[in-house]
């Protein structure tokens, strides 16, 4: 079971954030270009924070601190960076005159943390009370479309992205548009759109992070097609383009594992976990160690669970999707998995959230609930291999739906020939 993938699109909401909990031991320092960029960010935060130590600080400075902390979090995966951003947002609105403040930046933060209702409220406020240029209007339209996408309103999301691009052409929104094709099963169109995004990014003098981010997208697209060999060069390019970025390295490790390079994958995951002690990576390392050292694998799974529990307490909306796979994989935690899956589906409601909910019900042998969830899921345009394969497994248990199940299985295998094998854990 894949531990990590794209949760969200757009360079403001990045691939994002796995959360690394605060551990007793300090994480290993970051390295490469990431370390250089983090040092620059920290210096800017220090200078800006000094400007706030006056009798009447400007909310603009607190907004800058929040934006820098969010950028830092995307490079580190550290939960504490989002907490810094939240505190800075609180300070900004505390000192801002009534009816003003950084509504757009706060909407970005809410969106990153998957607080969709709160993000939508700030988007509404910004559109009503702020004087907006085309760039800001485009940004708000794209964020509103992001929320629609998360909720399974795919056509509405697509219209929003197209409207945003008419106002301003950005790499982030071009990637978002690629996600529409991707998640509705049109891989060729998605790849073409990502190619357009990469060309645009380079023409605009994009940062190494942006270029690496795009190559990670290309790589995950190939993984979703069951093509690990085709994914590998993209992740290698991402790692080389932006050295030290854990997210590119994690996908490289995942691909090595899929290609049978278990020792290389375990070594890289061990290195990543030392810098970013996140539950996803601990689980991935445990998977790789299971055959050689089951006791050590169990220790890593226990650490992962502790990390997830901490994250769920601090940022429940953001952490719930990350934690789900961990609890789904444990036969002894199905009650917890259902609880999280129901919360996740209530929060988002899109096809991928409903897929996880159907999986939880299937594992709990709640077939009627699983079928109802699949019915809701298939009423949406989202068509991923995992979604279709899960639907096939559920419908295959219902005599009147077995013919449909066979069609769904074929459709899933057309997207990813290996998907049925990848989901065998659902048959336990």
Per-chain mean pLDDT for the chain: 94
* Six token digits for residue 290: 């299971």
Residue 386: is its pLDDT beyond 60? yes
Reported as a pLDDT band with limits 50, 70 and 90, residue 5 is very low
130 burial class (0-12, 13-18, 19+ CB within 10 angstroms)? middle
DSSP string computed for 55-119: SS--HHHHHHHHHHHHHHHHHH-BHHHHHHHHHHHHHHHHHSPTT-S-HHHHHHHHHHTT-HHHH
Q: Which domains does the chain have, with CATH numbers?
A: 315-427 (1.25.40.10)
Q: What number is the average pLDDT over the span 132-160?
A: 97
- Give the length of the chain: 428
State residue 14's pLDDT score: 44
Q: What number is the average pLDDT over the span 81-95?
A: 97
d(CA 182, CA 179): 5
State residue 129's pLDDT score: 84
d(CA 144, CA 160): 7
d(CA 103, CA 198): 30
d(CA 81, CA 345): 27
State residue 18's pLDDT score: 55
208, 242 Cβ separation under 8 angstroms: yes
Tokens 């479309």 sit at which residue?
A: 145
Return the closest-CA partner of residue 151 out of 314, 350, 338, 311: 350
Q: In this prediction, what percent of the chain has a pLDDT beyond 70?
A: 94
Say what the pTM is: 0.93
Q: In this prediction, what percent of the chain has a pLDDT beyond 90?
A: 91
pLDDT digits (tens, 9 = 90+) for 8-45: 444 444 444 455 554 445 678 899 999 999 999 999 99
- Residue 405: CA count within 13 A, CB half-sphere: 14
State residue 4's pLDDT score: 45
d(CA 61, CA 386): 44
Return the closest-CA partner of residue 13 out of 158, 139, 163: 139
Reported as a pLDDT band with limits 50, 70 and 90, residue 378 is very high
Q: What number is the average pLDDT over the span 340-351?
A: 97
Q: How many CB atoms lie within 10 A of CB 390?
A: 27
d(CA 234, CA 20): 25
pLDDT digits (tens, 9 = 90+) for 90-109: 999 999 999 899 999 999 99
State residue 21's pLDDT score: 56
Q: What number is the average pLDDT over the span 50-71?
A: 96
pLDDT digits (tens, 9 = 90+) for 177-221: 999 999 999 999 999 999 999 999 999 999 999 999 999 999 999
Query: Exposure string (b/e) for 54-90, b if CB count within 10 Å is 16 or more?
Result: eeebebebbbbbbbbbbbbbbbbbbbbbbebbbebbe
pLDDT digits (tens, 9 = 90+) for 243-295: 999 999 999 999 999 999 999 999 999 999 999 999 999 999 999 999 999 99
Of the two residues 175 and 23, the one the predictor is more confident about is 175
125, 144 Cβ separation under 8 angstroms: no
Q: What number is the average pLDDT over the span 145-170?
A: 98
Q: What number is the average pLDDT over the span 79-97?
A: 96
215, 191 Cβ separation under 8 angstroms: no
Q: What number is the average pLDDT over the span 61-72?
A: 98
128, 140 Cβ separation under 8 angstroms: no
């Amino acid at each position: 079971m894949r531990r990590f993938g794209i949760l969200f699109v757009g360079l403001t909401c990045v691939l994002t954030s796995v959360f690394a909990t605060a551990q007793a031991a300090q994480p290993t320092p970051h390295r490469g270009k990431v370390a250089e960029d983090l040092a620059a960010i920290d210096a800017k935060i220090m200078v800006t924070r000094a400007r706030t130590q006056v009798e009447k600080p400007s909310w603009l400075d607190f907004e800058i601190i929040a934006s820098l902390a969010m950028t830092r979090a995307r490079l580190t995966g550290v939960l504490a960076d989002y907490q810094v951003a939240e505190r800075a947002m609180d300070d900004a609105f505390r000192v801002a005159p009534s009816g003003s403040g950084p509504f757009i930046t706060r909407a970005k933060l809410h969106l990153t943390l998957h607080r969709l209702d709160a993000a939508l409220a700030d988007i509404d406020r910004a559109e009503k009370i702020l004087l907006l240029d085309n760039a800001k209007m485009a940004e708000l339209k794209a964020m509103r479309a992001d929320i629609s996408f998360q909720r399974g309103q795919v056509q509405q999301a697509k219209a929003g992205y197209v409207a945003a691009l008419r106002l301003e052409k950005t790499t982030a929104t071009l990637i978002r548009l690629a996600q529409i094709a991707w998640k509705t099963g049109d891989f060729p169109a998605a790849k073409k759109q990502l190619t357009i995004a990469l060309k645009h990014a380079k023409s605009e003098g994009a940062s190494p992070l942006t270029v690496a981010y795009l190559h990670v997208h290309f790589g995950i697209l190939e993984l979703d097609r069951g093509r690990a060999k085709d994914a590998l060069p993209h992740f290698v390019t991402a790692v080389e383009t932006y050295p030290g970025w854990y997210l590119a390295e994690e996908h490289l490790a995942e691909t090595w594992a899929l290609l049978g390079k278990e020792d290389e994958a375990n070594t890289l995951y061990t290195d990543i976990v030392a810098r970013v002690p996140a539950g996803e990576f601990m689980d991935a390392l445990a998977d790789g160690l299971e055959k050689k050292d089951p006791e050590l694998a169990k220790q890593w799974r226990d650490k992962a669970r502790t990390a997830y529990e901490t994250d769920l307490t601090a940022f429940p909306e953001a952490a719930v999707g990350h934690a789900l796979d961990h609890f789904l994989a444990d036969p002894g935690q199905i009650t917890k998995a259902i609880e999280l899956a129901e919360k996740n589906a209530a929060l988002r409601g899109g096809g991928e959230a409903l897929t996880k909910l159907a999986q939880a019900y299937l594992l709990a042998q709640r077939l009627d609930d699983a079928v109802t969830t699949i019915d809701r899921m298939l009423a949406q345009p989202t068509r991923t291999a995992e979604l279709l394969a899960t639907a096939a497994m559920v419908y295959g248990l219902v005599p009147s739906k077995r013919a449909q199940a066979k069609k769904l299985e074929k459709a899933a295998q057309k997207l990813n020939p290996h998907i049925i094998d990848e989901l065998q854990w659902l048959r336990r």
